[in-house]
Structures are given as structure tokens and as C-alpha cells.
Amino acid sequence: MPSSEVPCIRNRPFLTAALLLTCLLSQTIRGEDGFRAELPGNRSDPSFVDEIGGAPLVIRAIRTDSPRSTLATFLRLRAELEETLLAYRQNRVASLAVQTRALRDQFIALMDVSLFPQVSQRETGIKTMAFLLDIIGRIPPPDLDTVPDADAFDDASSSARWRIPGTPIWLVRVEEGPREGEFLFGAQTVLSAPRFYRGIQDLPLESTLPIESWNQALPQLTGPMIPESLVGAIPRPLRQLWLDTPLWKVIVITSVGLILAGLVVLLHRLLGRHETTGRIEPLLRPAMTPVTMLILVFCFSSLFLPQIVPSGDFSAWIDGVVSIVVNVAILWLVWVLVRALFERIIQIRGIPDQSFDAHLWRLAGRVLGVVVTVLLVARAAQALGMPLYTVVAGLGVGGLAVALAIRPTLENLIGGIMLYLDRPIRVGDFCSFGDLTGTVESIGVRTTKVRAPDRTVISVPNAALADMQLTNWARCDMMLIETTIGLRYETRPDQLRYILVRFRELFHAHPKIDSKSVRVRFSGFGASSLDIGVRTYALTRDFNEFHAIREDVFLRMGEIVDSSGSGFAFPSQTLYMGQDQGLDPELAEQASRQVDAWRRSGRLPFPRLSPARVSELENTLDYPPKGSNEADAPEEHQVWNTDEQISTVDPDLAASPELQHDDEQKPRGSD
């Protein structure tokens, strides 16, 4: 695949998912807030004309400013509904089906269903509409002139209501909310209408339609794409109501739902078997499953269900299931997109994949996903009828329980954040912690992985690592050479002075030793030796080169000890059983004469060498030694590049001004 096609492939899933999500959230998905389109009767104009399928659709606005207006609107809508259904039976066109749904929505707008769960408010309104049509069709309503208007109620009254005579049907003024001041069929009417209807269902129904009950007739309605002849051919047992819906509709809807669910499962398995490359595409590919779910739910709710037209409790169950599926798909999609977005940020910023910065970005993505998930779950639970405060309290208690259960993980997470803020170590640094050493390979959210010198991987919890004393060898600019030289007790003081001077000259002359850090002193009388303490810094940051420099220095120090006529003391007591030849008196006398000459000439180099002598000695020794394969090589070819470097990455610290040595401070030849 050409590289020019990669951005297109990577960006297309983001664009597609975002567009689909926007469209689906703005469309009328059944059971969501967006399902109920704006009712024509709620527009500011008293009436309006729309054009659907070539036929004019005229809908007049509803009035609910008084019990008289609400009851008059109900009776008018009943007449228009009967007229529309008569025309629909003769000519099953889409415009009449749309007009039927618009009238039905206007009926629902006359009822106060605010006390019911959001996901079931629509079906509750439709059921109540059928019961009210059956009740008012059997018990004639009073003359509208006798129904009180808005002037009959005091605006200061805390409760304004009116009951239709002979019925438990109340028209109640809404006291708060977006419909404040309107007279609607109250919530108590919604609850009592079914019970009252069962008591009068034997009375004849007055209607222009050839029906015996609205509760039996409305569930039998179907969309214009289903022929009347097909509906008429359905056996009578399958027309019986089950959960307020004909049995044949229940079978068809359930079968189609199972088929769609099977398609989603099949697609998800096929996507799981497909191998992908890169870091973003494997994260975006799972987004196809929730996107497919949303598309199928949209088709199922907006194209299929309006033709089958479920009703009653079964329709409420469908709304609940659809609402759950939509919310699960949205949560899934949001989670996938958030992860992909943060991975893309890591990729754009060039952050190493296993670095702590990358893990922290991923953690931020997970936290954002969890917050969005909690908000969407709370919203979905409220739509399904669960009290929001109860849901929030449950989430709080559950969160506390989870926090207690994962306390060690939280401690490690906080420890990792402390490591990120303080940055005592980085990936690639060679460090010591406790009694362990190794090179840091990754700093994760919970643990830090260190490659030990024996090539094993040590996983250290971040909480423990943050509390340890860390030694970061990658931060050193020079490496310490420190040792103690033990000389035999037979060594004369002038011999000792001679050795001290030659040691100091050696370190000042060596091109790989920091001249300003040289410290060579007679440190004390040991149990079996005269001890000389040596402490200086090697100008290197590579372990192999450090050991080579130290080796060279130690060899030269051994030569100096031998040339002085002295010798190294044994670390144990020596029992002389025979006559010892002792030390070389000629060499001892020669060393004494040299010290005496320094003393007589006033050039005794104690307590330190003179600046002129230091300047004279600088870089006078041959290093690498003459005869080695690197003796005549240019200095830039003598750079040590081995597997034992302090840091496997090019450290920024080495370039910091405070760690740089200018030409006046740094010996020639140091790095």
C-alpha cells in the first residue's frame, strides 16, 4: 500500500464514526428524547400545511389554556382521527399514515405523563389515548358551554382542576415545568382510565368507524407498506393481543430483532479475525460493531417498526430494549474513539510507546472514558425510570467499594504520577535502587520494568520505587575512581612522599582524569599497611571506558610503587621464619636523595604540587599507551560506544550548561 494512502485510511474511520454518531443522535431513534419530533400543534402558527408524498397534510394547533379548550381539542382530534382512519382504510398512502401519527402525537400532548419513565412516556400516552377515546365514546361529554374556561380559575390558586361529569377524568392545570399553566389530562387520570374503562366496556361505542373498541382496533393498525389483504389473511388466533400487541406482530418483531442481533455478532467475530497493523487501526476497527448497531437500530426503529406499529406494553418493552442497545452502542463507540484519539496524540507527539508519558496519556483517556460512561449510564438509567439521585448514590457507593478493593493499584498509580512529576529516572537510564541495579525499560501505570545486568527483567511496583533511594547513574557527568593503596610498613617517609608525588603527577598528567578533582593523600596507618587514599574522577560516561581508564591508572600506580623501592602490603600478618632480604637500599637511598633535593631547593611539593608543575605535567603521559592499537588514532575515534553505557538514550542532561566544562576548567582531551 502506498504511504500516501495511509492518512486517508486512518482518518476515514474517525470521520465516518463522527458523522454517523451525529446523525444518529439527531434522528428520531425510538425510546430516546429525539424520537418525538416537534408536534405540529405546538408551532406558533394556528395551523400549517405540509406536503408529504404529493398530498397536502393540514394540522391545526392544539389549545390547552383552559379545560374547555383542552376538551374541545380532544373532541376535534377524535373527529379528525376517525376521518383519517376511514380514508386510510380505503387508500393506504404514506401521507395518511403520517397524518395518523401526527394526530396521535397531538393526543399525547394533551396528557401529563411526566411522572412516568421517559422511555415509556410515549406508549403510556398512546394507551391512555385509547382508553379516553373508549370512555368518551361510551359516556357522552358535557356541552362545551358548561365547561369552565380560563376565567373560571383564580391565577393565585394553588390547584386548578375540573372533572368530566360521571367519570374519573380530570383536567388539571400544570403548576411548574415547561408546560406551566396548561390544562392537561392529569397523571391520576392516566392511572384510573384503564380501571374505569373495564367497568363500562359493555356500553356501546359511538364512532363513525366500524369498530367496537379503540383498545382493540388501534393495535391492529399497520403501515402503508403492508397490504391490507396480507393483514386480513392472518389467522384470528394470531390477531389476539399479547402485551397489548397482536401476536403476529410480536413474532415478526422478535424474529427480525434476533436476526439483526445475529448479524451484529457475526460482524464482530469477522472483525476480530481480521489482522491489522499499526497502532490506531486496531483500535478503530472495533468501532465498526457499535456503528453497525446504531445503523441497524435506526433502520429497525425508523423504517421497520412504523410499518408493523407495535403498541401497549410490548411497544414499551421494545422502547426499553432499543434504548439500552443505543446507549450500549454509544458507550462502546465513545470508549473506542477516546482510546484511538489518545493513541493518535501519543503518535503525533512522538512519545515512545512504552514510556511513562504514553501510559499517562492512556490513563487520561481511560479516565475520560469512565467519566463519559458514568454520565451516559446515569442518563440512560433516568430515561428507564430509575431515580437519578439513587443511581448517583449507587455509583458513589460502588466507586468507594472499588476504590477500597484496588487500593494497592491506586497507590502504585499515585507512585507512578510522582515518578512522572519528579522524573528521577527515565526509560533507558541505568540506576540502582535498594540492592538491585539495571536499565529502566518501561515506566507503566502500575509497575516499572528494569533490565538487570544478568538480563532478567525486574518488575518494581511504582509505590515501592517512589519510596526507595534511587541512584541514577545516567545523571553523572564523570565517574569516580576511589581506592586505598596499602604500602609495607618498611616504607620510609621520603619513599612515601615520593610515591605520593608520583601518584599526583600521574593523575594530573592523565588526559582522561579530571585534574581539578585529584585527591591523593596519606590516609592513615592500617593494621598491616600504610594507607594512601586515592579519589578522582574519570572523564567518561561509559562503563567500559571507565574500567579501562581505571585499569590504566592502577597499572601505572603499581609501576610507581615498584620504582620507589617500596611494595604493597599483604592484607594479613607475615611470620618471618628466615632471613629476609629486605628492601632495596639503593632505591631507597635514591628516593631519599630526591626528596632531600626538593627540600633544599624549596620545591617540596607538599601539601600540593605547584601550579607551574601542574601545568607542566598536564597531558604529558601517553594514553592510550604507546604501542596500543588506539595510540595513533584521532581523538574522535576513541569515543567509547559499548553496551555498558549509563544510558541507552542520548541524555539531555549531558548538554546542560551547569554540567559542561569550559576550556579553562576541563583538561584537554576530556569529553
Which residue's C-alpha cell is 569529553?
Answer: 671
- 260-299 tens-digit pLDDT: 999 888 888 887 766 655 555 666 677 788 888 889 988 8
Q: How far apart are CA 194 and CA 189, in angstroms?
A: 9
- Long-range Cβ pairs for the range 259-268 (8 Å, 24+): 260/296, 260/300, 263/292, 263/296, 264/289, 264/292, 264/293, 264/296, 267/292
**Helical axes 356-383 vs 388-405, angle rounded to 10°:** 150
Q: How many CA atoms lie within 13 A of 440 on its CB side?
A: 31
- 85-107 tens-digit pLDDT: 888 888 888 888 888 888 888 98
Q: Confidence band (pLDDT; 50, 70, 90) for 20?
A: very low
* Residue 647 three-state SS: strand
The pLDDT of residue 381: 67
Q: How far apart are CA 313 and CA 320, in angstroms?
A: 10
The pLDDT of residue 650: 61
Q: Are 253 and 305 in contact (CB under 8 A)?
A: yes
User: What residue type is assigned to position 205 of the chain?
Assistant: L
Distances (CA, A) of 162 to 108, 148, 150, 190, 292: 19, 8, 11, 15, 50
Which residue's C-alpha cell is 443505543?
Answer: 326
Q: Is the pLDDT of residue 42 over 60?
A: no
Strands (E), 285-407: none
Q: Confidence band (pLDDT; 50, 70, 90) for 531?
A: very high
Contacts of 195 (CB under 8 A, 6+ apart): none
Q: How far apart are CA 514 and CA 521, in angstroms?
A: 17
- 111-139 tens-digit pLDDT: 888 877 776 778 888 888 888 998 988 88
Higher pLDDT, residue 247 or 580: 247
Average pLDDT over residues 426-446: 80
564: Cα separation from own chain's centroid: 71
Q: Confidence band (pLDDT; 50, 70, 90) for 382?
A: low
Distances (CA, A) of 592 to 71, 359, 454, 492, 583: 130, 68, 51, 8, 14
Which residue's C-alpha cell is 576550556?
Answer: 663
Average pLDDT over residues 508-532: 92
